[in-house]
Structure 1
Amino acid sequence: MRWPSSLISVLLVAAGLGACDRSPEYEYQAPTASTTGKPASSTGAGELKPLVFDQNDVKSFKVLPAKFEYDKNPITDEKVTLGRMLWYENRLSKNHDISCNSCHDLSNYGVDNKSFSSGHKGQLGGRNSPSAYNAGHHIAQFWDGRAATLEDQAKGPILNPVEMAMPDEKRVITTLKSIPEYVSLFKAAFPDDKEPITYDNMAKAIGAFERGLVTPSRFDKYLDGDDKALTAEEKVGFHKFISLGCPTCHTGVAVGGSTFQKLGLVKEWTGLKDNGRFDHTKDEKDKFFFRVPSLRNVEKTFPYFHDGSLATLDETVTKMAWHQLGVEAKPEEVKAVVAFLKALTGDLPTEYIKKPELPPSTPATPKADPT
C-alpha cells in the first residue's frame, strides 16, 4: 500500500521533520493516545499539549476487503442467496411483521435511526441497534459482545421476546419446512447435510450474506494511494483525528469494532445506567465496557452510543474527546474531525442488498400469533 504524498507531508510536519511552516491549525494539538499506550490526560481545562505523533496510529488503518471471510462458514453463492431471503423474511417473527431488515435497514446504512428499535407488539429494545454493515470485522457482536460471530448473533433476535419473539427454535424450523422454496434453497446451500433445515444453518446463511455487507468509501481509495480521494479539509481532519488520540479505539479496517472499552475511561460518564459488558460476563472489571463501534458510515448511523442519546456528530466527538481522552476539544478541532468522519461514508451495494421476491406461504405455514 502506498501512502498519499499529502498525508506523508502532514506526518512529516507533525513529527517536526517538515520544512514548511505550521499554520494555526497545527500549532497546538491535544495529547496523543497511541494504540500502543494509554490515553494521555489533559493538563487542564482548555490546555493542549504540543503534538506527539505516533506513526503506528496511521499504519493501523486498512482498506476494506470485498467481503469478510470466515473459515468456519465458507461463503457460497447458495448460502448468500438463501441468507438474503431470510434477512427480509417476516415469517421468522412471531407475528409475521418483523424481519432483520426492520431494525437494520440495508437501504439506510443498516440502521433505523431510532434510539431504540420497535419489536414485537411495539416493544422497545434496551440498546440502540448498530449497523449491520462491515460488522464482519467486529471482535464480537452486540454492544456487550455476547455473540462471538455474525452467525451467533443471527440466532438471538429471532427468539428474543422483545424483538422477533418466536417461542422456540422448533417453531422457526417448522415455519421454514412448510415453505417448499425454502426446503429447496436449504438443500442447495447445505448439500452435504442430511437435515439441511436447522437453526444453525439458518444462522449460517444469514451470516454468509452479512459478510458481504461492505461499504468501501473514498477513505479506502485514499489509503490505497489516491491522493485526490479526500479533500484538503478531510485530510486535515484525518490528521486531527490521529493527533487527538482517536485511534486509541477507532482504528483498523472498520475504524473501530475491534476492542472493548470503558465509557468514561478518563473522565467519568455520569448517569450511566447500562452496565455494558458486565451484564454478559458478570465480571466487575467489565462494568461500563462496550464494544467500540465502527466509524464506517457514522455520518448516517445516528443517533449515537448504546442508548442513542446523542443526535449529532459534533456533540458526539466533543464528548468522546473529553470522556475518553481527557481532551477539551476546540470547536475548530471538532469541525475538522467531523469533516474526516463524513469521508467514511461508503457506497451501498445496491444490487447485493436488493430485496428478493419471497416465496408465498402454504396452508401448512404456522400463522402469525398476535399474542
Structure 2
Amino acid sequence: MLRKILTPLFISILLATFTYCGPTQETKDLQGKAKQIIGALPEKMPGSENDTAELISLGKKLYFEKKLSLNETQSCNSCHNVEGKGAGVDNLPTSPGAFGKNGDRNSPTVLNAGFHFVQFWDGRAADLKAQAKGPILNPVEMAMPSEKEVLQRLNADAEYPALFAKAYPNEKTPVTYENLAGAIAAFERTLVTFSRFDDFINGDYKAISQAEQEGFKSFMAAGCTSCHSGNLLGGNSFRKMGQVNEYKTNDLGLYNVTKKAEDKYFFKVPSLRNIALTGPYFHDGQVKTLEEAVKKMAYHQLGMNLSEDETKKIVTFLGTLSDKNRAN
C-alpha cells in the first residue's frame, strides 16, 4: 500500500524537477532580446577609475553640505535624496530652493546620472562636474552669490582645507570651485544601481516573473524602445515632447540652450531605471502616477491609446528596473 502511494509521489517530484530545471526557449529568446536592445548596466561609471577614496569621501561630505547654500538650509541631497531608500529625487513636482521659491522643472534622479550623455533636461551641462557647478550659484536653488563666497566658506571651515588637500595632494591651492565640483562628481559616480532586470539579462531567468516578462514584451511591442533603449533605457538622446500628439507646455527645452527653432520642446529622454521610485513624472512634474505617465507617453510620443491591460503590463515590467537595495 505504501509503495503504491510513494511511487506516484516520486514520479510527480521527478517530473517537477525536470519541468523546472531551466528556462523555456521563450524566456531564453527574451533574455537575448533584453541583452541586445538594453544590456546590463556596467558596474562602474566612466571616469571612476581615477577616483580615490579621499576624493569620493570629500565629495560625499560636500553633497550633504548645507553651507553651500546662502542661508545654510539646503544641500545637493535636499533635491536629490540618496539616503536610505532615497532614489536620488525629492518626489516633488518641482523643488523648492533655499528661500522657498520653486524651480520650473522636475528634479531628475542623480542615480546612474554619470552614464547619461549630457546632464539636465536641456543638456546644458556636458558631464557631472559641469552639472555640479550650477545649482550652488543658481539664485532660485542654493543662491550663493559667487564662487568666491563659496570658497571663503570652505576655507573658513575647520575640516575642509585638510580634506581638499588629501583629495588633491598634488595641488598647491586645492580648495577651488573646480575641485569642489570634481569631488561631488566623484561621489555621484558611486551611485550605480543594480536591478532584477540586470540579473535577468546576465542569465538569471528566475530574476523576473512571468508577468514581468510579459510586460517587457508589451514594452517592446508598443515601441517604447524607440526612445528608451541602451542600458539606461534612455538618457542617450533628445526627443521632442509631443512627437506625434502635442504636449502642452511653455517650456521650450533644448531651444533655450541652442536657440535653434528646430530644438523647441526637445528634452533629454529620461532613463527608466528606478522609474517606479522617482515620480512624479516628466520635465514639469505634472504626472503623478507611472500608469498615467505610460499612457501619456504612448499617446504623445507614439500616437497610441494603450489599453488598461497593456498599461498595467508595462508598469509591471518597469518595476524590475528599480535598484534592489531601494525597491520596497
Normalising by the residue count of structure 1, what TM-score does the alignment of the two structures yield?
0.78
Which has the larger Rg? Answer: 2
Residues 1:131 and 1:141: Cα distance change in structure 2 (over 3 Å): same
Structure 1 position 218, deviation (Å): 0.4
Q: Deviations over 1:234-291 (max 9, x none)?
A: 000011111111111111121111111100111222x221101111111111100000
Distance 1:4 1:321 in 2: 30
**Aligned partners of 1:283 and 1:160: how far apart in 2?**
24
- Tell whether the 8 Å contact from 2:31 to 2:203 is kept in structure 1 after alignment: no
**Does structure 1 residue 281 correspond to structure 2 residue 251?**
no
Using a 3 Å threshold, how does the CA distance of structure 1 residues 4 and 192 change in structure 2: closer, same or farther? farther
Task: Give per-residue Cα distances to partners, 1:158-212, cap 9 Å, x unaligned.
Answer: 0000000000000011111111311111111111111111000000000000011
SS at match of 1:261: strand
3-state SS of paired residue (1:212): coil
Structure 2: distance between partners of 1:58 and 1:195: 47
Report the CA distance shift for 1:276/1:247 in structure 2 as closer, same or farther (over 3 A): same
Match of 2:58 in 1: 82
Matched residue, 1:135: 113
Q: Does 1:341 align with 2:318?
A: yes
Q: Which has the higher contact order (CA 8 A, sep 6+)?
A: 1
1:124-149 CA-partner distances (Å, limit 9, x unpaired): 00100011001011111110000000
Which amino acid in structure 2 is aligned with residue 321 of structure 1? A
Q: Is the 8 A contact 1:157 1:163 kept in 2?
A: yes
Stretch of structure 1 that moved more, 326-335 or 288-297: 326-335
Q: Quick one: distance in 1 between partners of 2:24 and 2:179?
A: 44
Out of 291, 308, 324, the residue aligned to residue 331 of structure 1 is 308
Query: Which residue of 2, 5, 8 maps to 2:28?
Result: 8
1:300 corresponds in structure 2 to 277
Instruction: Report the counterpart of residue 183 of structure 1 in structure 2.
Output: 161
Letter in 1 for 2:100: G
Provide the secondary structure at the position in 1 that maps to 2:256: helix
Q: Which amino acid aligns with 1:301?
A: T
Q: Is the 8 A contact 1:118 1:124 kept in 2?
A: yes
Q: Corresponding residue for 1:316?
A: 293
- Tell me how large the CA RMSD over aligned residues is: 1.9
3-state SS of paired residue (2:309): helix
Q: 1:178 to 1:226 in 2, by over 3 A?
A: same
Q: Would you say how many aligned residue pairs link Structure 1 and Structure 2? A: 303
1:201 aligns with 2:179: yes
CA-CA distance at 1:9 after TM superposition: 4.3
Higher helix share: 2
Q: Which runs of 5+ in 2 are unaligned?
A: 1-22
1:32-86 CA distance string (max 9 Å, x none): xxxxxxxxxxxxxxxxxxxxxxx5x851312122221227x82111110000000
